[in-house]
């Protein structure tokens, strides 16, 4: 049976941890610095006038694994980390069943979220955020070309 060929929870945990830890302790400094620079540039990017700031990224982890969230909620920017609320609680609950704890995962996997562009749904929040930050606001209602 196919089910018989699936790894046990312990075996799966060991495989995940060993594949994640392959480069963990020897992270190239230049690569980590490039990730930090990219994150700083992303935080100040204004190319899309409909993007809801700030961008949601995890720590600058050099990893073979990249976990990208589909739609960060309201809590993620406040807590300044991806998968910080409902989806994260579910995700890390699943991981805990194989013994993989949240902090270990966050330290070993680069985590991010797509930039938030909700044209109509969050328009007022964008305007208010930019007003507070003293940005000039031009909201076109369409994606920039």
Which pLDDT value is given to residue 118? 64
88 φ, ψ to 5°?
-65, -40
Q: Higher model confidence: residue 62 or residue 47?
A: 62
Alpha carbon distance 20, 41 (integer Å)? 27
What is the phi-psi region of residue 141: left when phi exceeds 0, alpha when psi lies from -120 to 50, beta otherwise? left
pLDDT (tens digit per residue) in 113-124: 888 776 665 667
| Global confidence as pTM | 0.60
Quick one: average pLDDT of 115-139?
62
Which pLDDT value is given to residue 139? 41
Beta bridge partners of 51: 117
Which pLDDT value is given to residue 24? 47
Are 59 and 14 in contact by the 8 Å Cβ rule? The answer is no
pLDDT (tens digit per residue) in 67-80: 998 878 888 888 98
């Amino acid at each position: 049976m196919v089910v018989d060929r699936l790894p046990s929870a312990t075996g799966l945990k060991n495989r995940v941890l060993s594949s994640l830890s392959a480069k963990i302790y020897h992270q190239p400094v230049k690569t980590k610095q490039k990730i930090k620079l990219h994150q700083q540039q992303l935080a100040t990017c204004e190319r899309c006038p409909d993007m809801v700031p700030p961008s949601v990224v995890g720590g600058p982890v050099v990893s073979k694994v990249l976990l990208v969230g589909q739609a960060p909620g309201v809590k993620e920017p406040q807590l300044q980390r991806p998968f910080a609320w409902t989806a994260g609680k579910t995700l890390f609950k699943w991981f805990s069943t194989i013994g993989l704890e949240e902090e270990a995962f966050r330290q070993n996997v680069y985590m991010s979220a797509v930039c938030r562009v909700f044209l109509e749904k969050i328009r007022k929040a964008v305007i208010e955020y930019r007003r507070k930050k003293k940005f000039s606001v031009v909201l076109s209602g369409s994606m920039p070309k």
